[in-house]
Amino acid sequence: MAKKEKKNTGKLSSTTFSLIVICIVGVLAVALGLLYPKVKNIQNIKADWLANTIRLEEQKRFYPAYAQACNLADTQFANLLPLPERKAIAREEISGLGEVFKQIAEKEGVALSENRMDTESFKTGAELISMNITYKGEFLHFRPCLIELIKLPCFNSLENVEIRTDRDNVRYCSIRCKIAIENNDVSKNQG
């Protein structure tokens, strides 16, 4: 009888052991089922936090420029260009504009690289003539050149302004503008 009791005890212990293992595996499965979504959520939160940190660092880097742009946008600038009364230049005086453009260049510390008149716009009866002017020099000197050009009494409008740099790092400012010229249409003068 003692042997039978030992066998039952052995069977009970293996059954009990199996039940304990099944319970532990079940508890682990339930725990993983409950914890996995939370771990995944924590990983998503970390990824969002990292993305926001990177975005904030970028914003910190660009904030001074943004703040300065906002200040400039709110600033009221006085009209600092006392523009002369506009009047057309006589056709005979157009050839002297090249010297005027050269003087502007010398005054502002740049060189006059090109001064071309659009001959198509210089016909009898035309009131405006297109001019192509190119200055060569430092970038910061181009703005005063433009201001001096606009101050000319015969200046009418800007058509195009282009700033470019060549291979040797020399900067050019090409300007296409319209100059008011006197109309010498013969039919108008006779009537």
Task: Give residue 81's pLDDT.
Answer: 59
pLDDT digits (tens, 9 = 90+) for 31-81: 778 878 887 888 888 999 999 888 888 888 888 888 888 887 777 766 655
What pLDDT score does 188 carry? Answer: 47
- Report the candidate in 132, 128, 143 with the shortest Cα–Cα distance to residue 174: 132
If you average pLDDT over residues 7-24, what whole number do you get?
74
pLDDT averaged over every residue in the chain: 81
* 111-117 and 128-137 beta bridge pairing: antiparallel
H/E stretch holding 71: helix 2-74
Residues ≥6 apart with Cβ < 8 Å to 137: 105, 108, 109, 110, 111, 171
pLDDT tens column, 117-137: 887 776 767 788 888 999 999
| pLDDT band with cut points at 50, 70 and 90 for residue 10 | very low
Task: Specify the fold of 91-190.
Answer: Alpha-Beta Plaits (3.30.70)
pLDDT at 189 over 60: no
pLDDT of residue 82: 67
Residue range 146-175: mean pLDDT, rounded: 89
**Of the listed ranges 28-42, 129-143, 170-184, the one predicted with least confidence:** 28-42
pLDDT score recorded for residue 133: 92
According to DSSP, residue 36 is labeled H
Average pLDDT of the segment spanning 182-190: 56
- What is the per-residue pLDDT for 118? 80
